Every structure is written in structure tokens, then in C-alpha cells.
Amino acid sequence: MIRFSKANVTYPNGVSAMKDLDLEIDDGEFVVIVGLSGAGKSTLIRAVNGLVPLTSGELNVNGNDVHSLNRTGLRELRSDVGMIFQGFNLVDRTTVLKNVLMGRLHKVPTWRTLIGKYPQADIDIAARALERVEIIEKTYTRASDLSGGQRQRVGIARALAQEPSIILADEPVASLDPPTSHVVMRYLQQISRELGITTIVNLHFLDLATAYADRIIGLRDGVLVFDGPGSKCDEAVFESIYGRSLTADDTMAKQAAL
């Protein structure tokens, strides 16, 4: 379970990206966070695995008070939280398998990492992750030779290889075209449902959010302005989250039609 209470994040440059946030996310939930860019979506997601520290307030993830964790504790927490990025963050020069094995680093002794010889059990876990996102035939392909959608599936496989209880996805489809975006979103939804992994996804396309989310959280200027099921989220709600009327840029289908 993830619980924010009176959580605040203020960056050194004075920007306040999270204001008095109270939020509880249960195990196995599929949550989509929406809001304009700069609304604090990335900050919220990065707070969960401690990449962005809270300025004040409390954050509890799976029974750990994130703020009080030392370096080792933080690494342990992060090993239980998979992360998927907008820019995929793969090592382009190396193979798909080596990229996915990055998800096993927390379990592999350092000397084995240094010589690049991973235990068979970890390779098996990586193979299962690749199979789940149906890209196992690309195991020995260099990451740079993949298409955008394939890269993001490798990104998902890397997160899955951690065998996490939580997956954080920061704008996972922002660099992809609409059909590929749906493929990636379906994988995320399927994984969350079948493996019971709590999943938090940042999106800025409203139609994608309502299509996949069990629960939508709306942020505006670092403040939580909406929290409810995807079905309750209509245009009026989105207009209140965005603080303006909707345009074609806000939905993927309409933007694609332009």
C-alpha cells in the first residue's frame, strides 16, 4: 500500500510540485494520474521510489517510511518498485537481454555484474518477462535496432524482471504513435490484473486515461483536484482538472485525426 499524508515537495528553485497531498493507493490498483505538464505528475511518481525526496509530510510504501530510509533501505524499496520511462532509458548499445537483466541487479552479486555473468535463474526470470510482452524473439537484438513500441515493451520487461509489487510508469506512451500506445497500455493493464501489481501511470491523453484506468487522479499545480473511478471522469471533470476547456491536443484520437 502507498500512503501520502500531508506530503509536500518543493524544489531548490522554489517550485512547489506537491502541496499537502493526502492519497492512499491499495495493493493491485491500476491508477492513472492526469494533469497538465508541470502539474506534479512526475514528482508524485518519483516520490514513491524515493528518486524525489519529500520536503515535508509522510510517505509510506509497503510499510516503509520512505523519508527515514537509509541508502540500503532505499535500494531495497526500489528493488520492489519497477519503473517505466517516457524515453525508455535503455542502453542502446547492448542487447535486449542485458537491458532486461538490469532489473535483476539487486539480486545479483556485484562480482557477477562486473564480469557480466548472470545466474541462470535470473536469466530465466528475464526470459519470462520478455515472453510476457511477446518480444522474446528479439532477445539478442541490440536495443538501438528496435522500434519505439518494441523498446517500451523491453522497458516493461525490465521492470517486470524485478518481480516488483509496484510499477511506476512515467508518460510511457508519450513518445509513441496511437496504435502502439494502445498496445503498451494493454500490456500494462494486463500485467497489473494478472500479477496483482499496483500500477501508477502518468498520462496526458484523456481518452487513454478513461479507457484503461480503474481510478483516475487529477493534479493541478501540485494539488489533488480529482480522485475517482474512470467511469465518473467526463469532460466537465477534465476541464476542472486542466482549468480550461478541452482542445484536440488533449485526446489522442482527436489529435491523430488532425
Partner 1 sequence: MTTLDNGTNSTPAPTLPAKPAVSMFAIGTAIGAILLTIITAISVGFSLGEIISNFGRKNSVVEGLLNPDWGQIWSRRSRSAFIETLQLAVLGTATGATVALPLALWSTTFGNPNRALRTLVRSFNNVIRSIPDLLWALLFVTAVGIGALSGLLALFFFSIAVTTKLTSDTLDGIDMGPIEAANASGASLTQMLRSAVVPQILPSYTSFVLYNFELNLRASAVLGLVGAGGIGARIEFFRGRGDWEKLWGLIVMFFLVVFIVERISVTLRRRLI
Site residues (CB under 8 A) for partner 1? Answer: 49, 51, 75-83, 85, 87-94, 98, 101-103, 105-106, 108, 110, 113-114, 116, 158-159, 162
Judged by CB, which is closer to partner 1: 55, or 89? 89
3-state SS, residue 25: strand
* Cβ nearer to partner 1, comparing 71 with 258: 71
The amino acid present at 141, given as its one-letter code, is T
CB of 170 to partner 1, least distance (A): 10
Within the chain, strands assigned E span 2-10, 16-25, 30-34, 56-61, 64-65, 81-84, 166-169, 198-203, 215-220, 223-229
Residue 164 CA to residue 162 CA, distance in Å, equals: 5
Residue with cell 526470459: 127
Least spacing, CB of residue 94 vs partner 1, in Å: 4
C-alpha–C-alpha distance, residues 239 and 188, integer Å: 26
Q: How many CB atoms lie within 10 A of CB 154?
A: 26
| Minimum CB–partner distance for residue 181 and partner 1 (Å) | 20
With respect to partner 1, which residue has the nearer C-beta, 100 or 206? 100
Question: Which of 118, 133, 116, 210 has its CA nearest to residue 167?
Answer: 133
| 109/179 with CB nearer partner 1 | 109
Of residues 175 and 255, the one with the C-beta less far from partner 1: 175
Phi, psi values for residue 130, rounded to 5°: -65, -35
CB distance 219 to 32 below 8 Å: no
**Is the CB of 91 or the CB of 253 nearer to partner 1?**
91
CB of 105 to partner 1, least distance (A): 4
Q: Which of 71, 46, 72 is nearest to 59 (CA)?
A: 46
CB of 250 to partner 1, least distance (A): 27
Minimum CB separation from partner 1 for residue 144, in Å? 11
